[in-house]
Amino acid sequence: MNFAEIIILNIIKVNIQQIKQRFGIIGNSHDLNRAIEISIQVAPTDLSVLVTGESGVGKEFFPQIIHNLSTRKHNTYIAVNCGAIPEGTIDSELFGHEKGAFTGATDHRKGYFEVADKGTIFLDEIGELPLSTQVRLLRVLETGEFIKVGSSKVIKTDVRVIAATNLNLSNAVRNNKFREDLWYRLNTVPIVVPSLRRRKEDIHLIFRKFALNFSEKYRMPPIKLTQDAIKILENYWWRGNVRQLKNITEQISIIEEERLINSEKISKYLPDDHKKQLPAIYKDSIGKEEFSSEREILYKILFDMRNEINELKSIVTSTNSQFGQAYEIKDRYANKKNIDDFNNEFINIKNPASDLVNIENERNINQKTKIEDTEEIIEESLSLKDKEIEYIKKALVKHKGKRKYAAEDLGISERTLYRKIKDYNLEN
């Protein structure tokens, strides 16, 4: 980095600090500074800007920053909450109307785009605009022209449009609730305002600022937090972001008599016992699972892994139970001659070793002859390992050392047979 670049970076840092002091923005997180830096860079231009972020993060500050640093700063600045205007009157509010255009239109009226000529208009909650109004807005952005409600006269305007929303407009486009061409036109320069949970290092700073403001407002000593209370604030989910933090700070400042707040006291003011809420998986109208952050995807993977581990435990438990039944049956018939009873009872058990046993049973049935009462009973080894070695040797001899056919005869895979031959030192 050369000397000129260092000077430019220092100037940007100074400008960011000045902007924070001027507009009362608190925090030093990288994402917040980046959003302010983009606002400073885009301010001298006339490009459209789309500010996105969750509800309560302070999106309304950035249009003011852009307007006050632009060449339009001495002209009109109008902020419009699109979600608060009824659908039937929003066209009239934005573009004006002529007398008699509709019931109740007793006089002609200028719309916000006409009033804010040469200035800036901030359209908050742009995702709530009706589709018919979106068409009118797109024409203003592309040609700078609009027509009043009930008129046929084209009016020219020079207005810079800055929009903001807490909705995912890409999803709204896919669901045909927002025009794709308008989204591209507004999103010329995107500014993403980070949520409070992504600015953990700023949470205590913001709390202290709010506590000081409320102490001056209500004329009482400011509240302070213990270290364990600070940890709770930093690890809380903060769905309402800065707005929620401000409300909780005000509640504690008024209600608590003790000025030093510990974790037990602050927990009473946080929903869900101050525990960070786990991300929820939801489905949009087209049936696709959406995740609001990489954190949610990680939780989903962990949940799936836990379910798979539980299923594996169930399989192992079931297998152990089946082996136990097999040993019990084998002990019961160890010294008996009736191989049919043994085979009928054992074959009903779903056991991984049953294939080898069935092979031996068939061989015994084929070779079975009449047994004399005086026949000498020779005690055989009951070790499964010895039996397995014996079966493997016989299968290899039967198929003249061809392991593929021996494995098929034993009812196991060729890879398993190779491993067992190695384990039992049967290579020769």
pLDDT tens by residue, 309-341 = 877 777 766 666 665 665 565 555 555 545 555
Asked whether residue 85 is domain-assigned, the answer is: yes
- H helices of 333-353, in order, are 339-346
In the structure encoding, which two tokens stand for residue 221, read together?
């000593």
Q: Is 11 in the same domain as 60?
A: yes
Q: What is the pLDDT of residue 426?
A: 80
Q: Is 75 in the same domain as 148?
A: yes
**Are 163 and 123 spatial neighbours (Cβ–Cβ below 8 Å)?**
yes
Q: Is 141 in the same domain as 41?
A: yes
Q: What is the pLDDT of residue 164?
A: 98
In the structure encoding, which two tokens stand for residue 21, read together?
């002091």
In the structure encoding, which two tokens stand for residue 421, read together?
């031959």
More confident residue, 292 or 417: 417
Q: Is 170 in the same domain as 214?
A: no
Q: In one letter, which amino acid is 85? A: I
- The CA distance from 252 to 207, in Å, is 11
Indicate the range of 11-15, 222-226, 362-366 predicted with least confidence.
362-366
**H or E stretch at 54:** none
Task: Give the residue numbers spanning the domain of 254.
Answer: 197-274
- The CA distance from 82 to 260, in Å, is 42
Q: What is the pLDDT of residue 373?
A: 45
Mean pLDDT of the region 84-95:
94
Mean pLDDT of the region 15-19:
91
Exposure string of 42-73, with b = 16+ CB inside 10 Å and e = fewer, is bbeeeebbbbbbbebbbbebbbbbbbbbbebe
Asked whether residue 13 is domain-assigned, the answer is: yes
CA 421 to chain centre: 50
Q: Is 251 in the same domain as 182?
A: no
Asked whether residue 261 is domain-assigned, the answer is: yes
Q: Is 25 in the same domain as 160?
A: yes
Q: For residue 378, is pLDDT > 70?
A: no
- The CA distance from 108 to 97, in Å, is 6
Split at pLDDT 50, 70, 90, the class of 12 is low
User: How many structural domains are present in the chain?
Assistant: 2
Q: Is 149 in the same domain as 165?
A: yes
Q: What is the pLDDT of residue 379?
A: 54
Indicate the range of 116-130, 252-266, 283-297 predicted with least confidence.
283-297
Radius of gyration of the chain (CA): 38
Mean pLDDT of the region 15-21:
92
Q: Is 175 in the same domain as 255?
A: no
Q: For residue 229, is pLDDT > 90?
A: yes
- Of the candidates 126, 160, 194, which is a domain's last residue? 194
- The CA distance from 148 to 45, in Å, is 28
Q: Is the dihedral of CA 7, 13, 16, 22 positive or negative?
A: negative
Split at pLDDT 50, 70, 90, the class of 200 is very high
- H helices of 129-278, in order, are 131-143, 169-174, 180-186, 200-218, 227-235, 241-255, 263-267
Asked whether residue 285 is domain-assigned, the answer is: no
Asked whether residue 240 is domain-assigned, the answer is: yes
Q: Is 189 in the same domain as 203?
A: no
- Of the candidates 213, 241, 274, which is a domain's last residue? 274
For 337-371, the pLDDT digits (tens) are: 455 555 555 555 545 445 545 555 555 555 554 44
Q: For residue 8, is pLDDT > 70?
A: no
- pLDDT more than 90, % of the chain: 57
Q: What is the pLDDT of residue 319?
A: 63
Q: Is 32 in the same domain as 89?
A: yes
- The CA distance from 122 to 422, in Å, is 76
Asked whether residue 299 is domain-assigned, the answer is: no
Q: In one letter, which amino acid is 219? A: R
Give the highest mean pLDDT range of 252-266, 379-393, 412-426.
252-266
For residue 262, the domain's CATH number is 1.10.8.60
Q: What is the pLDDT of residue 278?
A: 47
Asked whether residue 38 is domain-assigned, the answer is: yes
Indicate the range of 153-157, 268-272, 286-290 predicted with least confidence.
286-290
Asked whether residue 208 is domain-assigned, the answer is: yes
Average pLDDT of the chain is 82
What DSSP character marks residue 367?
A: H
Q: Is 43 in the same domain as 178?
A: yes
Indicate the range of 51-65, 71-85, 133-147, 365-379 predicted with least confidence.
365-379
Q: What is the pLDDT of residue 389?
A: 85
Q: Is the dihedral of CA 28, 33, 36, 40 positive or negative?
A: positive
Q: Is 190 in the same domain as 201?
A: no
For residue 37, the domain's CATH number is 3.40.50.300
Q: In one letter, which amino acid is 202? A: D
- Of the candidates 239, 274, 309, which is a domain's last residue? 274
What residues have CB less than 8 Å from 18, skipping those under 6 apart?
none
